[in-house]
Structure 1
Amino acid sequence: MSSIGHDEWVRRGRVAVRLDELLEDSGRLLDFEYSDEDIDSLRKQMELYKPPSPASSLSDELGALVPSSPDKPPLSPASSFLSDAIERPTKRRRISVDYSSLSEQEDDDDDEEEERPLAAARVTRPTRTSAGKNRNGGRPRSGKQKTSMKAKAHTAPANIPPPTAEEREEMRPTNGVNGHDAKVKVEDKMDERQLSRLATGVTVDDAGPASAAPTGKQEKMAYVELRKGVIQVVAVENDRQPRSSVILTGLKTLFQKQLPKMPREYIARLVYDTNSKCLAIIKRGYKVVGGICYRPFPHRGFAEIVFFATASIDQVKGYGGMLMDHFKAHIRKTYPDMMYFLTYADNYAVGYFRKQGFSKEITLDRAVWAGYIKDYEGGTIMQCKMLPKVDYLSWRETTAQQREAVLNKIREKSKSHIVYDGLPQFQEGMPEGVTVDPKDVPGLRESGWTPSMQTTRPVRPTGRGAEHTAMEKLLSDLKNHSSAWPFQTPVNAQEVPDYYDVITHPMDFSTMEHKLETNQYTDTDAFLDDAQLIYDNCRIYNPEDTVYHKCAIRLEKYMREQMKVYGLVRSSKVKREREE
């Protein structure tokens, strides 16, 4: 785990869980020789991601002219249409003249043509720049160089002859490096006040608001590509026009690839439905890399988001958030009176929708939407309400300006830049047992201190030692596990009316978190018993063939593994008795 990092380890865990689910659904969990397109694609996602090299303009122009080959493997579909960004290793393109039409293999080839790093097509030539730098002074390119005999321009010569005497004379340094004057960067000088403050570990922020202004947030790649025209966001519906048919077909293929558990015929029927509307992210040649399919109900004041997906390779660029912003702006422009969105999110997509302003709390009257949207088993219904005064295409700039204004006000009243000399009474060589009146401490009154704040009462110990920290870490790991989604909050009695008739001692992770924060756990046994109670309740209420029962088994096994990691053991083999 230390070699790949925690985030990569968690991502691979999600992919492994999804693999088990697909194999279990097909009844081949123990058939290690079994494989299909979905299984192979998920296994490819277990490979470590290699960052692509920067692309050149020449490669971009050549990439538009060279078709992809059908003998390349298909892209890996995501474990869920909005799961965490899944990265893939760098691939290279092979030149081919096979133009197959409208097949899924061609779509996979086109995806790979778009997603491969264009910088891999550059011709490497020996230069006189320093090691580790390219001609433009940037970072060295990553990835393997092509060694195929078909691409001789990419292969360095096997033997390089030694330089001649004239060449050695030209290479001899004169007044610099290789005949060029060496340029030395001169750093700005700092005054004594800044040096002394840096030496004491205090931030230099008293030069005014301008000097302490935070650096601007880096613009996401999705907005950079949108601004440069690499991608476009277009609205499309089934109006029987050739352009619309091409884009809708691309959306259908994308949804089918990113939603492997959804019936392919069902996706095609909804995408081509004349009542459905779509918003697509397209590249050159109407190549669809993201999209949203929704069904508006203008007379009811809401819209149902049916499908939402982006290509796996582009999820790290921020396509999902950018598409949702454009979707909200498009709805406001097209349907001014429509203020609500409803959608059924799978367990991997709840976090994404929450970031986009969706909530599990449905405030829209049930009579408005009940019977109009389709219920999906295993999904979570979520709602988003738009704000009338928010411009969803420029909300990032607005919030950045508001944040800067707040920080400027804080700097006007902040005294954190003032550094006082240490108290001489506690300097080395002074007698021990000396007391100082708080009123004589420089800067204490200016910070807002008053004599009424002084107290001699002993501080009550919080009891948060190493054991408490270990319980916090274990609870955090359990909550973030991919199988923990059924146990995050208490069971809703309205959705499951007979649950509390069967389960007399309910428990969930939010309740455990509250008890842990308020120091209600006297020992580790009480904490572990509550966690075990969650799994026992789930197995009592749910049959063995349900997804909830399987999640409880996986999570219990994971908890026992993490207990060994954090050194949490029961002090007694006898469980504490629960009240009947």
Structure 2
Amino acid sequence: MEHQAKRAKLVDDDEDAVLKDIEVKVEAKIEDIEEEFVKKDEEMDEDNDNENEDESEAEKAEEDDVDKFKTVYEFQGEKYMYKERAGAVEEREGRIEFRVVHNNGSRESFLILSGLKSIFQKQLPKMPREYISRLVYDRNHASIAVVRKPMTVVGGIAYRPFESHRFAEIVFCAISSSEQVRGYGAHLMNHLKDYVRNTSKIEHFLTYADNYAVGYFKKQGFTKSITLPKSLWKGYIKDYEGGTLMQCTMVPRIRYLDVPKILLLQRTAINHRIKQRQEQFAIEKQVRRKGLEVFKNQKFEPLDPLDIPGVKETGWTAELDSLARKPRKKGEHGIMQVILSEMKNNAAAWPFMTPVSKEDVPDYYDLIAEPMDLSTMEQKLEKDQYDNMESFIYDARLVFNNCRKYNNEATTYYKNATRLEKFFNSKLKEYPEYQHLVS
């Protein structure tokens, strides 16, 4: 055994040495290529005829640049204006471009992939540098990069297509920290969706998102609800500890680069229709009551709100009124969300993510009277079914106790239940008002 361990260590050391050697050669090659592009860049600068503009002309150019972000369109005879993302405007003007890159051996592709690798390594510090390099240069993977002309990579997405299974895995996604306010991320994802759908049979994306990326992916149409059959992706995509698996299913017949304008046109159409209805049922044309004179003698019967001129036309209903009067969620609701999210991201949580399958464990529900799991807790939390922290903690305890009741102490499930319970108690202790509830 000792001999095998030493041998395995030697193999690992050899692999590390090879990777470091490749890294050194790659960096050297990048420097050579960058020098070549720097020379070209300098030649372009020499041909620039606008270097001698005076200050007033510069200010005017700046004002014109701001106006470029505003797009005017006409609907039903009226003009509307909306502000485009900087990324879309810069692409239209030719200042940036979105390029799909494969490791095909060309110098230009190599330079772009090297730029992407550097950004991924900087923006994803928890990922091993050698691991990022290996996947970016891997020929089974492809990338789409945001390139500022002439040849500066400012961000991109690396993905691996599984066309026979109709999905692609997004491996890395990052934008340079200095460029993240320009809307490149959303525009980049829209480019990826349009390209992949138009050039392949892929219909879905899967990705593991860390806590910082979940919000971004939600905005891009990703969800934690995985509808793709597990048999299609299990064992094919890389499983990251602490990451949240998310899925995006592309909508047919939609060009994602046009989505912002489509949504704005739909909103405009709805507002236009509302305006027409308001004009049609103008309150001024209704018969008015005499106001306070009705209540002067205090002899009156309760009035149906829908009898008041104009109320019915606004769309008011008793149901909507009761919803509006419903008390807002308490502050502890947010605390429950934080604790549950951190529990799901814990390494010991994997056995408790979904309900126990009756097919896999037929006798489980004969022994366990109150089954509970983290996904059920999340659904109850979203539906505001936890009146207080005590009821939330009760369900969490069910998860741990049910597991220990059904499984033997020597099993991984039993040990993970104890680990997750310890983590859960540590999170409760962070809030002084709930420390007395820690068991």
If the TM-score is normalised by the length of the shorter chain, which range does it land in?
0.5 to 0.7
Helix, strand or coil: the match of 1:299? helix
Distance 1:138 1:370, change over 3 A: closer
1:259 Cα deviation after fit: 1.3
Secondary structure in 2 aligned to 1:360?
coil
Q: Which residue of 1 aligns with 2:165?
A: 300
Distance 1:432 1:558 in 2: 61
Question: For residues 285 and 551 of structure 1, what CA distance do their matches in structure 2 show?
Answer: 51
Contact kept? 2:400, 2:418, Cα under 8 Å? no
CA distance in 1, matches of 2:30, 2:422: 40
What TM-score, normalized to structure 2?
A: 0.64
Please, which of 447, 458, 472 is the counterpart of residue 330 of structure 2?
A: 472
The reply to whether residue 443 of structure 1 matches residue 309 of structure 2 is yes
| Structure-1 separation of matches of 2:425 and 2:238 | 30
Alignment partners' CA distance in 1, 2:276 and 2:55: 55
C-alpha displacement at 1:397, in angstroms? Answer: 1.8
Map Cα deviations across residues 349-389 of structure 1 (whole Å, 9 max, x no partner). 22322222223333333333333222222223222222221
TM-score in terms of structure 1 length: 0.50
* Regions of 4+ moved over 4 Å: 100-103, 134-139, 208-211, 419-422, 436-442, 459-464, 480-483, 487-490, 494-507, 534-546, 548-551
Superposition map of 1:177-576 within 5 A: 216-335=81-200, 337-414=201-278, 417-419=282-284, 423-426=289-292, 431-435=296-300, 443=309, 447=313, 469=328, 472-479=330-337, 484=342, 486=344, 491-493=353-355, 508-516=377-385, 521=387, 527-533=388-394, 552=424, 555-560=427-432
Return the offset for 1:509.
Answer: 4.8
Amino acid at match of 2:428: E
Deviation at 1:395, TM superposition (A): 2.0
> C-alpha deviations, 1:194-226, integer Å up to 9, x for none?
xxxxxxxxxxxxxx9877x8x643211211222
Residues 550 and 281 from structure 1, CA distance in 2 versus in 1: closer, same or farther, beyond 3 angstroms?
farther
| Structure 2 equivalent of residue 203 of structure 1 | none
Higher percent of residues as strand: 2
Return the offset for 1:303. Answer: 1.8
Identity score, percent? 33
Alignment partners' CA distance in 1, 2:422 and 2:278: 54
1:406-434 deviation digits (Å, cap 9, x = unpaired): 33223222357534697434159x73404
Q: Mark the CA change 1:409 to 1:495 in structure 2 (over 3 Å): closer, same or farther.
A: same
Cα gap change, 1:284/1:367 in structure 2, threshold over 3 Å: closer, same or farther? Answer: same
The Cα of 1:290 is off from its aligned counterpart by: 0.9
Unpaired stretches in structure 1, ≥5 consecutive residues: 1-99, 111-124, 128-133, 140-207, 522-526, 564-568, 576-580
- 1:256-291, CA deviations, whole angstroms, 9 ceiling, x for partnerless residues? 111111111111111111121111001134221111
Contact 1:475–1:513 (Cα < 8 Å) also in 2: no
Decide whether aligned partners of structure 1 residues 333 and 442 sit closer, same or farther in structure 2, where only a CA change above 3 A counts.
Answer: closer
Write the distance in 1 (CA, Å) between the matches of 2:173 and 2:92.
23
Q: Amino acid of the residue matched to residue 273 of structure 2? A: K
Report SS of the residue matched to 1:382. strand
String of CA shifts for 1:432-470, please: whole Å, max 9, x gaps.
404278599662586399xxx99xxxx999996xxx65x
Q: Distance in 1 between matches of 2:265 and 2:354?
A: 41
